Structure 1
Amino acid sequence: MTHYANAKLQEEKVFKDPVHRYVHVRDQVIWDLVGTREFQRLRRIRQLGTTFLVFHGAEHSRFSHSLGVYEIVRRIVDDIFAGRSEWDENERLLVLCAALLHDLGHGPFSHAFENVFELDHEYYTRQILLGETEVNAVLKKVAADFPEKVSQVVEKTYPNKQVVSLISSQIDADRMDYLQRDAYFTGVSYGHFDMERILRVMRPRKNQVVIKATGMHAVEDYIMSRYQMYLQIYFHPVSRSAEVILNNILKRVKQLSLTGYTFKHEPTHFQAFFHNTITLEDYLALDESILFTYFQLWMQEEDAILSDLSRRFVNRKLFQYIDLDPGVELKKYQQLQELFRQAELNPDYYLVHDTTADLPYDFYRPGEEEVRVPIFLEMKNGELRELSRESIIVDSISGRMKRDHKIYFPLDFLEDPSTHAAIKKQILTLLRKDGK
């Protein structure tokens, strides 16, 4: 390692943080990484995508989350693991950099954007870490192979699984930050748990991090908090409605562009994405402020679907929804699709099936190749016991998939009797059969 790897700032820098009070930076490398253009871009990407349209405080960015993950890892390695024989001090800077940079590749409104253009943010994280970027230049000053090592930690392929598990496991710094941060900014109480206690009972062991058995109740609290945050915040049906519309705006723009439509406002920033010729520079040039600018411009487009969907997203005129699983009620779903066509509402854009699912403690994933390492409790005699074997609470929700199916539609269009009144009445009767 170079002198640069061990260089400290003359004076510690701190970021004031609403969740951790302060984020402390003493390492020159970390300070330099925060100042790179690729990391600063994360200020312009929201942590929770469309959720701000439901919980108005949820405007926080991936920048603040990344700093938070770094701070939790810093506290673990500097305050809890330091001096313990099963922690290798040489991994310290690596795990701090990986914690800070783990979300670098996220695009604007991450998931909708990735779905439409078939992208993977983890691929772009790797490109930023290893490509010709300011981040890569900083990491290379540590050592020639250092960018690759950071990338391996983020990708979960680094040989020392103990290092990986601090950022990506069932109980990691990433989850511990976003649960608390998202709860704080959405104003809900579900995401709060006793992180201080969890940090105090974490112990480094060969190829993993374990929890002292005395900390089991704090871990139960954390898992229940994750369970409730998914149901109440991450899968909130109104937020999903906004995401459905966002998805369909991007889908429509892509279709129009590929079929030769003449835009009033050419979607210049998207051309590489339409034609799958994306360079890293194209990717980094997009953020949420640019998408919003386009949405406002597309409200003036001649294409009725694009202008309507853009207006809905910008002005928060979202779709309504009912519980309906096309797998169970296929006939009803197909009938609705046909009626929508008759009412001149394109069902590809105006009748959308959406499903959400989560496993609160998810190392049981049938059919998945990736083995998810469970949380191990270290008993007084040194024996390791998997958490759900000791905790009745965790056992009760382990491996239980909570799956939800909804269809989304524009109720305002359906309630407007000026066109296709009889057909719309039929649609509304079908939609209201379930009692809504």
Structure 2
Amino acid sequence: MGYKDEQLSEEKVFKDPVHRYVHVKDQVIWDLIAAPEFQRLRRIKQLGTTNYTFHGAEHSRFNHSLGVYEIVRRIIYNFQGRPHWNDDERLLCLCAALLHDLGHGPFSHSFEKVFKLDHEYFTQQIILGDTFINKILERVEEGFAQKVADVIAKTYEDKLVVSLISSQIDADRMDYLQRDAYFTGVSYGHFDMERILRVMRPIEDQVVIKSTGMHAVEDYIMSRYQMYWQVYFHPVTRSAEVILSKILHRAKHLYQAGDYTFKLEPTHFLSFFSGDVKLEDYLKLDEGIVSYYFQLWQDEDDEILSDLCERFTNRRLFKYIEFNPNQQMKEWMELHRLFQEADIDPEYYLVVDSSSDLPYDFYRPGEEEERLPIHLLMPNGELKELSRHSDIVEAISGKKRTDHKLYFPKDLLEELPDTQVKQRIKEILYGQGEVKDVN
């Protein structure tokens, strides 16, 4: 028996708050979990700055990755013996599910935007590079690592395999909605996953849902909608993200300017500041390291960097108002000028942040991101697109919602001397509506 088929002497289980147990029987999966590149995910939080809003949201990408693996394991178990399912793809599906988030960095999306990085690119680099993960995958068979990378990149030839990990109803979303709801303490993300798993069916290049399970899928779609607006896009979380991003921008600016000397050289950030990020540098940077630098930078001579780090570390966040720059460009330009006159740098202290989400969409050929719709399998064997059969889903299908907010440090404004500049800033900001606190 080769490594591909090697089983543990007894099944291992991880106790999990969402799925009760995560079951591991394959030696390959057990070895991947033990690899340093996977263990690193323990040091990357799943929800970035969300713990500033929901204090329980301290769970990691490690937790989530195990959860996605477990859901795919259960789906495959239910698929065994069904038409269109190739059981030879079993291990590939499990490995791709486990490793799909391998390339996430500290504070994930905020970090990526500042340094123009892509976690999916680094996921593939870890899988295909000189890593423990790659060595394990290549022991399965030559070229197996490339197959796993292709599944995660959504380029693998068997689209049914890809859809288990990346589609509008996939193992990734089903885990993070429930896991994030559990750890944030909200009720929005709960839906009947067991029912959905029971009614999933493999059909050629996609997974479809038996029509009898439609209401469970409606619940899932609405759970996703609510989680995005009540948790993922929560304005307090976004305020912390704004400050986080501005810290990284400021540190990068100071380094690139060449005339500023940090009290302690930011060794872990150097390749990120220079734009030449090596895989080994990427793997060394986790949230513990980033937080360490933020602690140190509170004592930097640069007032902006020091202030922003103190705010982030001690949760002194920016206030916000509803503000659409597309419709309020005149006010935006005036605020920018007034902040400069008040000696408050608008680049770092006057920030518009926009959030948008498309909860469900049907197939629109030629669009930049083509979304494969969810299909219902009718009793007569016919396939029907979900929104054509569900009034609830039809009501939100294809409707992209966007939300704009303007963040600023109210405390700095209050400390300004009573001048016409201060008065005008307050007129513009406070005249837009209620200033929202973030505490």
Shorter-chain TM-score tier: over 0.9
Number of positions where the alignment pairs a residue of Structure 1 with one of Structure 2? 433
Supply the distance in 1 between the matched residues of 2:401 and 2:83 (Cα, whole angstroms). Answer: 41
Structure 1 residues 300 and 363, CA, compared in 2 at 3 Å: closer, same or farther? farther
- Which amino acid in the other structure matches residue 192 of structure 2? D
Equivalent residue, structure 2, for 1:301: 300
Structure 1 position 51 matched with structure 2 position 66: no
Q: Does the CA-based 8 Å contact 1:5-1:142 persist in structure 2?
A: yes
Structure 1 position 361 matched with structure 2 position 357: no
Cα shift readout 1:191-222 (whole Å, capped 9, x = no counterpart): 00000000000001101110000000000000
Equivalent residue, structure 2, for 1:274: 273
Cα shift readout 1:92-134 (whole Å, capped 9, x = no counterpart): 0000000000000000001110001000000000000000000
Cα shift readout 1:393-416 (whole Å, capped 9, x = no counterpart): 000000101100111000010111
Structure 2 SS opposite 1:149? helix
- Which amino acid in the other structure matches residue 304 of structure 1? E
TM-score, normalised via structure 2 length: 0.97
Equivalent residue, structure 2, for 1:205: 203
Supply the distance in 2 between the matched residues of 1:47 and 1:425 (Cα, whole angstroms). Answer: 42
- Which amino acid in the other structure matches residue 176 of structure 1? M
- Which amino acid in the other structure matches residue 397 of structure 1? I
Cα shift readout 1:117-155 (whole Å, capped 9, x = no counterpart): 000000000000000000000000001110000000000
Moved over 6 A (4+): none
Q: Does the CA-based 8 Å contact 1:364-1:399 persist in structure 2?
A: no
Alignment of 1:4-19 (within 5 A): 4-19=3-18
Shift of 1:421: 4.4
Equivalent residue, structure 1, for 2:437: none
Structure 1 position 241 matched with structure 2 position 239: yes
Comparing 135-144 and 359-368, the one that deviates more: 359-368
- Which amino acid in the other structure matches residue 250 of structure 1? L
Shift of 1:365: 6.5
Q: Does the CA-based 8 Å contact 1:190-1:228 persist in structure 2?
A: yes
Q: Does the CA-based 8 Å contact 1:350-1:410 persist in structure 2?
A: yes
Equivalent residue, structure 2, for 1:189: 187
Structure 1 position 176 matched with structure 2 position 174: yes
TM-score, normalised via structure 1 length: 0.98
Equivalent residue, structure 2, for 1:312: 311
Alignment of 1:417-436 (within 5 A): 417=416, 419=417, 421-436=419-434
Q: Does the CA-based 8 Å contact 1:324-1:405 persist in structure 2?
A: yes
Structure 1 SS opposite 2:309? helix
Structure 1 position 73 matched with structure 2 position 69: no
Alignment of 1:58-207 (within 5 A): 58-78=57-77, 80-207=78-205
- Which amino acid in the other structure matches residue 12 of structure 1? E
Structure 1 SS opposite 2:123? helix
Shift of 1:83: 1.4
Q: Does the CA-based 8 Å contact 2:363-2:372 persist in structure 1?
A: no
Shift of 1:326: 1.0
Comparing 259-268 and 154-163, the one that deviates more: 259-268
Structure 1 SS opposite 2:415? coil
Supply the distance in 2 between the matched residues of 1:370 and 1:140 (Cα, whole angstroms). Answer: 32
- Which amino acid in the other structure matches residue 294 of structure 2? F
Shift of 1:363: 4.2
Comparing 51-60 and 370-379, the one that deviates more: 370-379
Equivalent residue, structure 1, for 2:379: 380
Q: Does the CA-based 8 Å contact 1:365-1:399 persist in structure 2?
A: no
Supply the distance in 2 between the matched residues of 1:189 and 1:366 (Cα, whole angstroms). Answer: 35
Shift of 1:84: 1.2
Structure 1 residues 343 and 10, CA, compared in 2 at 3 Å: closer, same or farther? same
Cα shift readout 1:291-335 (whole Å, capped 9, x = no counterpart): 000000000000000000000000000000111111101000001
Structure 1 residues 221 and 297, CA, compared in 2 at 3 Å: closer, same or farther? same
Q: Does the CA-based 8 Å contact 1:321-1:406 persist in structure 2?
A: yes
Shift of 1:276: 1.6
Q: Does the CA-based 8 Å contact 2:362-2:387 persist in structure 1?
A: no
Shift of 1:362: 3.3
Structure 1 SS opposite 2:431? helix
- Which amino acid in the other structure matches residue 346 of structure 1? D
Comparing 263-272 and 357-366, the one that deviates more: 357-366
Supply the distance in 2 between the matched residues of 1:424 and 1:68 (Cα, whole angstroms). Answer: 51
Shift of 1:368: 3.0
Shift of 1:40: 0.2
Unaligned runs of 5+ in 2: 435-439
Cα shift readout 1:27-72 (whole Å, capped 9, x = no counterpart): 0000000000000000000000000000000000000000000000
Equivalent residue, structure 2, for 1:327: 326
Supply the distance in 2 between the matched residues of 1:203 and 1:409 (Cα, whole angstroms). Answer: 50
Equivalent residue, structure 2, for 1:283: 282
Instruction: Give me the CA root mean square deviation.
Output: 1.1
Equivalent residue, structure 2, for 1:409: 408
Q: Does the CA-based 8 Å contact 1:107-1:121 persist in structure 2?
A: yes
Structure 1 position 348 matched with structure 2 position 347: yes
- Which amino acid in the other structure matches residue 41 of structure 1? R
- Which amino acid in the other structure matches residue 166 of structure 2? S
Shift of 1:425: 2.5
Shift of 1:429: 1.6
Structure 1 SS opposite 2:168? coil
Shift of 1:277: 1.7
